[in-house]
Amino acid sequence: MNTLPSRAAALVDGDNISPKHAARILRAARSIGQLDVARVYGVMAGGSDWLKAPGWRFVHAGGGKNATDLLMSIDAMELALALGIETFVLATSDSDFTHVAQRLRERGAKVVGVGERKAPEQFRAACSDFFELPTEAQPAIDASAKPVPPTRRPSQLDEAIKLLIAKHSEQGKGMLLSEFGGRIHHLQGTVLKDLPEGSWRGYFEARPSLFGIDPKGTGARVRFLRSGFASA
């Protein structure tokens, strides 16, 4: 007697995962079960390219704080409880889905995580398996083009931030943003009111040639870019 493949659902955090990975995630999901549900959660405003991705149903989460994370988490539990889905593919690099993965596994479901290199260890460990998405290829550089100088030269504060991040970076993934404010205040005496941007996230986002920062989430990290400091 042939055993029917388990029912599977693929849920994608569209605010966190690039639509360039749409086909790859779909293939992975279809390889581990009978894919009955394939949804992408995000905000429809701005015309997300996920809307054009074949095989996916886009679910508009609205504009509230953490709306995408909340709706995707609720739907995952509903699919497990009401529809008996036994296998889940959760595509995200956000640690906020750690509890969802753990709860689904406690119910006996298989949870396959899919995310980028920045995906935190908490989420990876909470999944039955985890597949890391390849880094998107960078466009080829025209050898005849003149090098573009950094858009902003590092200040003394930037240099101090670089040293702090280097000290507390974990396996090259950067430093937790949630820990950064307290440590830089202890080191430099810098507080948010000293920043024209009003927040450290705003500060880093205003300096894309010097720093890289993860999307919002409890496990978001900040990194310094060596290229931005190389010519300083």
Predicted pLDDT of residue 26: 94
Predicted pLDDT of residue 101: 96
Inform me whether the pLDDT recorded for 182 exceeds 70: yes
Inform me whether the pLDDT recorded for 96 exceeds 70: yes
Predicted pLDDT of residue 25: 95
Question: Which tokens belong to 6?
Answer: 């388990």
Chosen CATH of 7-132 out of 3.40.50.150, 3.40.50.1010, 3.30.70.270, 3.50.50.60: 3.40.50.1010
Chain segment 23-66, per-residue pLDDT in tens: 999 999 999 889 999 999 988 765 678 988 999 999 998 877 78
Q: What is the pTM of this model?
A: 0.59
Q: Considering the chain, tell me which residue range(s) the CATH 3.40.50.1010 domain(s) occupy.
A: 7-132
CA distances from 144 to 134, 140, 147, 191, 228 (A): 29, 12, 9, 44, 21
21: pLDDT confidence band, cut at 50, 70 and 90?
Answer: very high
CA distances from 71 to 60, 80, 195 (A): 9, 14, 34
Inform me whether the pLDDT recorded for 69 exceeds 80: yes
CA distances from 43 to 60, 68, 75, 202, 212 (A): 5, 8, 16, 21, 23
206: pLDDT confidence band, cut at 50, 70 and 90?
Answer: confident
2: pLDDT confidence band, cut at 50, 70 and 90?
Answer: low
Predicted pLDDT of residue 170: 82
Predicted pLDDT of residue 61: 87
**pLDDT (average), residues 213-228:** 86
Calpha distance 116→102 (Å, rounded): 19
Chain segment 140-167, per-residue pLDDT in tens: 444 454 444 445 678 888 888 999 999 9
List phi, psi (to 5°) of 212.
-120, 140
List phi, psi (to 5°) of 41.
-110, 135
* Helical segments of the chain, H only: 22-30, 67-82, 98-106, 121-126, 156-168, 177-188, 200-205, 226-230
Calpha distance 131→108 (Å, rounded): 20
Chosen CATH of 156-230 out of 2.60.40, 3.40.50, 3.30.420, 3.30.360: 3.30.420
Q: Considering the chain, tell me which residue range(s) the CATH 3.30.420 domain(s) occupy.
A: 156-230
